[in-house]
Structure 1
Amino acid sequence: MTENNRLGPKIRMLRESKKMSVEELAEASRLRAELIEQLEAGALVPSLTPLLAISRALGVRLGTFVDDQPQAGPVVSRSSELGKDKDKVVRFSGKSAEGKSSVLDYYPLASDKQDRHMEPYIIDMHPQKENHELSAHEGEEFIYVMAGEVELFYGTEKFRISQGDSIYYDSVVPHDLHVYGDKDAKILAVIYTPL
């Protein structure tokens, strides 16, 4: 598997539980069957764009791919534990559908909480050398910059957000959030995506 892509087996498990073939999932998500096969095999680091399409086609929340042992009560995430369990780190290749390396390392903060409506993450962001491709999806996003600087392309506007700053936006507007400059950034992201 590429860069510990732990999402592939979950995609396959969810697809099979819905009794869908790879071709049916490809049609429902408007993705190539070959891409889905590569993701399921762990040959690629997924980007958010196809993963959102797959989650919608399967009728599950995006966070379902990182869920572990669901709990009904409060879920506490300890800073001392963040990143220690490498199996919980989810790596994304940005917007590129066929990335081989990670530009976003997601640390889920509530993967054990069942029936949640928000997806909170700490995200380590690395500079990317690709074009900034805008994408849109239903929902809302809240971003708080913990370290470094990020830039948000939002429709026709650009926002530079520095350490200690935050931004809240509707994600139905085409957008791209990326590192500003050539240094890593760390953010707290809370994402709401309705089914």
Structure 2
Amino acid sequence: MAQPTLNDELRRYEVGEKLRALRLRKKLGLVELGRHTGLSPALLSKLERNKMFPTLPTLLRIAMVFSVDLDYFFADHRKHRVLAVVRRADRLRFPQDPGRRDSSFHFESLTFPVTEPRCQAYVATFHPVASGKARPHEHAGVEVIYVLSGELGVTIEATEHMLESGDAMYFDASVPHSYRRTGRSSCSALVFSVA
């Protein structure tokens, strides 16, 4: 009597469906996945059809091929937040101390508390800093800046690019870059970062 109950509980996680979706997304056949994991195509087929449930070491071998964590197979992806309303008063601010004199900007996150967002979006406010004094930073991916108001200098590889309200810029964010307000009036922009 206990066995059907255990199987029902294990099916609830839809491990087989998630495994199949990963395999198809990577355009792998069962034989090819078997070569990568060291598991037989017959076993992989049974796992995908929930005719058999993997041990944790077996599941870990599969997860490593697809570069996912084990929790990928156990999390209910329908419960992940795919919609979030971020109120102005609730935005996370970066840097944590926007009053620092050497800070040329602060960001307010538009994507927190979304879990695993596909991009990061911010409203940025830029502060006046002397040319060459803004601290460069870098991160993985690309960045898009759309200037909402004011004048902005974006320095990439020692070249400062001047942007005005309505201008946009796309660049490789793995290259050191910095921002600074160049005009007298306030300057803000939307910043999108995709890794």
Q: TM-score, normalised on structure 2?
A: 0.50
**Highest relative contact order (Cα 8 Å, sep 6+), 1 or 2?**
1
